[in-house]
Structure 1
Amino acid sequence: MRCFGFKGKVVLALASLALFTGYAFADNLNVNGTNRTMNVYAPKNIEKGRPLIIQMHGMNQDAPYQQNAAKWESIADTARFVVVFPNGQNKAWDIGGDKDINFLKAIINEMYNKYGIDKNRVYVSGFSMGGMMSYHAANKMGDMIAAIAPVSGGGGVNSPKRTMPIMHTHGTTDDVVNYNSTVNTLKGWVNAQKCSSNSQKIKPYPTTKPGSAASLEIWSGCTDGVEVRLLTIDGKGHWYSMDEAVSVNTSVEIWNFVKNYSLDGSSITPPTPAIVVPTNREEVFNGGFDSSAVAWDLQTHGDAQASGDAKDGKYQLDISAIGTQNYQVQLIQHDLHLEKDQWYEVSFEASAGAARTLEVNVEQHNDPWASYLKEKQNFEIGTDTKNFKFNFQMTAATDTNSRLSFNAGAATGTLMLDNVVLKKIDAPAENSTKIRLGALNNRVETEYRVFDMNGTFIGKIAARSHDEVRGKLRMMVKRGGVYLIKSGNGVTRQIKVTK
C-alpha cells in the first residue's frame, strides 16, 4: 500500500475482501459532537476478554483501503481479537492535538461495550501518517495502550505516560517518509526508555528465509522490561509490505510482537483452538449443536428478520418478521457432497413455540439454487419435539458443494432444531418409498387437507392419484398460486395451480 505523501492524490482500486468467519461492518461514533466513522472486524462468536488492534490509514487514504491492504481478518480469526480501522477526518490525522486521541479513546470504550475487549491489551498501529498517529497516541494515552506498531511513519518522544513497547517497520527506499531520519527518531525512544545501547541484529529475517530482504534490530533491557524493534525491508518503498515471498507479512509480524504485552503484565490467554469444518463432506457437520452453531449459516432475505444460535445443545431460531417466501429465513449448511444416483436420508428433530409448517430443501449452494428434490419437503412442527425424516435420490450430477436448507420464513416465533443427519441409504423398495414419503400417486383413495401459503384452511380433497389431486384442487380454488396439500400422516406437498 502506497501513500503518495501529504500532497498527492490516491487512486484506489479495491479488491474484493475474502470471505472470513467473522463480521466486518462500518460503524460510527459521536465524539465531542462530531460523527466519526470506522470499519470493524470481529471474529464470529468472539469471547470476552480478547485483545483489540486499532490500525490507522495513511494520509489521503481511508479505512477500507487500509483494511484491504493489511488483511488482518484471517489473523484475527485464528488468534481471536477485534480489529478496528478508523477513518481520519479529511483522510488525515491530528498528530499534534487531542481530536483523534479522543476518537481512539472512544473506540476503546465502544469495543469494550460491544465485545468486552481486554482493556489491558489494546494495541495501536498505523501506516504512514497513521504510524505518526501511533507515536502521538503513545505520548498522549500510553496508559491505555499496551504496545504500538507504526509502519513507515515516525514520531518523537514527548513525555509519554509509560514505557512503550514499539515495533517499527520501514523500507529503505521510502521516498515519502525518509528511512534514515525515522530510524534516528526511533533511537530517541530507545534512549528515553533506557534500552541497552547494544542491539541485536538479525539478517536476513527470518533466518529460515536466506533470500529475505528484511532484517530485524532489537533493543532490549529497556525500562519495565519492554523491547524496541526495527524491522527494515531493503529496497522497499512507501508501502505496507505483505510480500512473504521476498520479505515478511507485516501484519503477522506486528501481531507476533504486540501480543506479548499487556498493561498489567499478565500473559495472554491462548484462544480456544478454532474448529476446522471439512469441505466436500458426505455428512452434516455439527448436527447436534453441542457447543456452537459452527458450520451453520442463518440467512434472512427481503423484509424477514430472525436471529439464532446454539442453546443448550439445540439450535434456537427466533423469527420476528416473516417474508413473502419460505426461503427468506434460512438455516443452511453447505459443502455437502452428493453423488449422482445415490439415495439419501435426511432426519432431524424439531419443535416450535406454536404449531407451524417448516420447509426443508436440498439444493445447489449457488445461483440458480436448483433443488435436488422432486418436491420441497414440508413438515408440521408442533410444540413437542418429534423426529422427522425423508428420503431422496440425487438424480443430478455429483455436487461437492450442495446444501441442506431449513426454510422458516412463513411464520414468526421460535423454532428448535437438533440431531440433523444426512446419510447414504440403499435404494428403497417402491412400495415402502410410497408409504414413507406419503406419495400422492397411490391407488387407494386418500383424503388431503388444503391450505394456502398463509396456513389458512381451504377444504378437503379425496383422490387416488397426484393428477386427480391437482385437478380437484384447480376446481376448488378461486385463483392460481401455490397451495399446501397435507395427507393424514402429516406429510405436506406444495402444488402450483394455474388459472
Structure 2
Amino acid sequence: MAGRSTRSSWMRKTLAGGAAALMAAVAALTPVNAGAQDLSSQLNDQVNGVVQGVNKAAADAANQANAEWNKFVQMANESLPPGSSLPLNPVPAPKVPAPAPAPAPKPAPSPRGWAPQAPAPVANGTNGEIRAAGRSYLIWVPRGYNPARPTPVMVGYSAYQDSTENFRNYSRLRESSVGRDAIIVYPRAIGASWEGSATAATRPGQDIAFVRAMINDVQRYYNIDRRRIYATGMSTGGGMAAVSACHMADLFAGVAGVSGAYYAPVNSGCQNLPIAFMALHGTNDTLTPYYGTVRRGMRVLPVTDLFRSYERRNGCAGGVDTRPAGHNATRVSARGCRKGVEVIKVHGSNHFWWYSPSAADEMWAFLMRNPK
C-alpha cells in the first residue's frame, strides 16, 4: 500500500501548506491597532477573500489528488486478481466554508461625552433664530463647524435702543476671525437694554438667568467648548459683557466691551473668580467718557477703574506694558495676571465700534489666549 501512504503524505503537505498560507495572509492583514473601528469592515472583507482563495486552492489540490489516485487505482486494479480492488476517491474534497459575516459596526463614541439632544436647527454657514426660556436669540454657525470638535461660543450684546439684527450686521463678528472659529449667539434684549444699566427694563438677575439658559440651549444642538465661552457688546451691551464677567465668571472665560457703558452696578458684588477682561474705548467718547461720568443719575465707571479692579481680581503682578495697536491706538496690558487684562485706547475717537483697529479681530486674538 505504498501508493496510499504516498497519497496521504502528499495531501497532508498540501493542506498544511494551505493552512500556513492562510495564517500568513491573515497575519499580514491584521491591523496595527486592532481596535481601529474604521478599518474593521475592510479587514473583514480582505480576510474573507483570502479564506475563500486559500480554500479554493485546497479544494482544487484535493480534487487533483483524487483524480491522480483514481488513475493509479484503475491501473492497479487491472493487475490485481479477480475479487480484489482498491477504493476510489479515498479522500473527499474539502468543502469551502461560507465567508464569516461582517461584524455589526459599533456606534462612534460621542465626542468628549457630548451628544445632541435634538437636531441642529441652523446649518453650517447660516444664520437663524431659536426660542428658549420665553425669549429668543439669533445664532450664527461657522462654515467649518464639526460636531466631533467642541466649538467656542461668542455672545454678542446689542446697544441701547438698537436691534439685535443691526448689531449683528455692524459688529461684523460673523465676517471676522470670530465667525470663522466660533458659534455666535445674539440674545434679544428686553426693552432694548440690559440689566446693570440705568436704562434697564429687566430686574436684577433676569438677563443673567436667560443667558445661562441660552448657553444650555445651544448645547442641546451643538458641541460647544465650555472652556471657551466669551462675551462682547457695544455701549450698554458692553456693560452687559461686564455683567457677564462679574456675575457669570463660572460660565464665561473672558469678555470684551466696546465703548462700554460701565454703570457702577455692572462691577458690583462680583464672583471672586479670575476672568479675562478687555475694553476697547475711545479717549474722546462723549457718551461714556473714558474717565467716567454720571448719566441718568448713576455713576459710569472710568475705564481705568475697571482695569484696576480686574488687575486685583486676576492677581496681576503690577505694572503694565504698552505698545501700538494700529496707527491710532495703544494697547495697555497688565503684567503677570492669572487671566489677561487689557485695554485698547483709540486716541481721539468717540463712541464707536471700530474696524481700524478691528474690534472683532483684536478681541478674538485676546480672548482665545484666555480659556478657562
> Fold match, TM over 0.5?
yes
Q: How does 1:242-257 map to 2 (within 5 A)?
A: 242=355, 244=356, 248-257=357-366
Residues 248-294 of structure 1 show CA distances to partners (whole Å, capped at 9, x for unaligned) of 0100001111111222xxxxxxxxxxxxxxxxxxxxxxxxxxxxxxx
Shift of 1:101: 0.5
Question: What one-letter code is carried by the residue in structure 1 that aligns with 2:347?
Answer: D
Q: Could you say if the C-alpha distance between residues 159 and 94 of structure 1 is closer, same or farther in structure 2, counting changes exceeding 3 Å?
A: closer
Count of aligned pairs between the two proteins: 228
Q: 2:314 corresponds to which residue?
A: 193
1:230 to 334, 338, 343: 343
2:136 alignment partner, SS class: strand
1:89 alignment partner, SS class: coil
CA distance in 2, matches of 1:120, 1:77: 16
CA distance in 1, matches of 2:165, 2:231: 17
Q: 2:21 corresponds to which residue?
A: none
- TM-score, normalised by the number of residues in structure 2: 0.58
1:168 aligns with 2:286: no
Shift of 1:41: 0.5
Question: What one-letter code is carried by the residue in structure 2 that aligns with 1:261?
Answer: N
CA distance in 2, matches of 1:77, 1:148: 13
CA distance in 2, matches of 1:195, 1:27: 40
1:118 alignment partner, SS class: strand
Shift of 1:76: 5.2
Asked whether the equivalents of residues 285 and 349 of structure 2 are also in contact (C-alpha less than 8 Å), the reply is yes
CA distance in 1, matches of 2:333, 2:259: 17
Shift of 1:157: 4.9
1:59 aligns with 2:160: yes
CA distance in 2, matches of 1:103, 1:251: 24
Q: 2:182 corresponds to which residue?
A: 81
Question: What one-letter code is carried by the residue in structure 1 that aligns with 2:254?
Answer: A
Q: 1:149 corresponds to which residue?
A: 256
Q: Could you say if the C-alpha distance between residues 21 and 120 of structure 1 is closer, same or farther in structure 2, counting changes exceeding 3 Å?
A: closer
CA distance in 1, matches of 2:328, 2:178: 28
Q: Could you say if the C-alpha distance between residues 76 and 28 of structure 1 is closer, same or farther in structure 2, counting changes exceeding 3 Å?
A: farther
Where does structure 2 lack aligned partners over 5 or more consecutive residues?
1-122, 197-202, 293-301
Q: How does 1:45-444 map to 2 (within 5 A)?
A: 46-48=145-147, 49-75=150-176, 79-95=180-196, 97-153=204-260, 154=262, 155-181=266-292, 182-186=302-306, 187-202=308-323, 204-206=324-326, 212-222=327-337, 225-242=338-355, 244=356, 248-263=357-372
Residues 353-381 of structure 1 show CA distances to partners (whole Å, capped at 9, x for unaligned) of xxxxxxxxxxxxxxxxxxxxxxxxxxxxx
CA distance in 1, matches of 2:179, 2:165: 21
CA RMSD in angstroms, aligned pairs only: 2.0
Structure richer in helix, relative to its length:
2
Residues 148-200 of structure 1 show CA distances to partners (whole Å, capped at 9, x for unaligned) of 11111224253324101111110111111111122232222223333233100
2:288 alignment partner, SS class: coil
CA distance in 2, matches of 1:240, 1:45: 26
Q: 1:28 corresponds to which residue?
A: 131
CA distance in 1, matches of 2:124, 2:173: 13
Asked whether the equivalents of residues 177 and 361 of structure 2 are also in contact (C-alpha less than 8 Å), the reply is no
Structure richer in strand, relative to its length:
1
Radius of gyration: which is bigger?
A: 2
Where does structure 1 lack aligned partners over 5 or more consecutive residues?
1-19, 207-211, 264-499
CA distance in 2, matches of 1:184, 1:217: 11
Report runs of 4+ in structure 1 exceeding 2 Å deviation. 74-80, 154-159, 191-194
Question: What one-letter code is carried by the residue in structure 2 that aligns with 1:184?
Answer: T
Asked whether the equivalents of residues 42 and 76 of structure 1 are also in contact (C-alpha less than 8 Å), the reply is no
Shift of 1:79: 3.8
Q: Could you say if the C-alpha distance between residues 44 and 113 of structure 1 is closer, same or farther in structure 2, counting changes exceeding 3 Å?
A: same
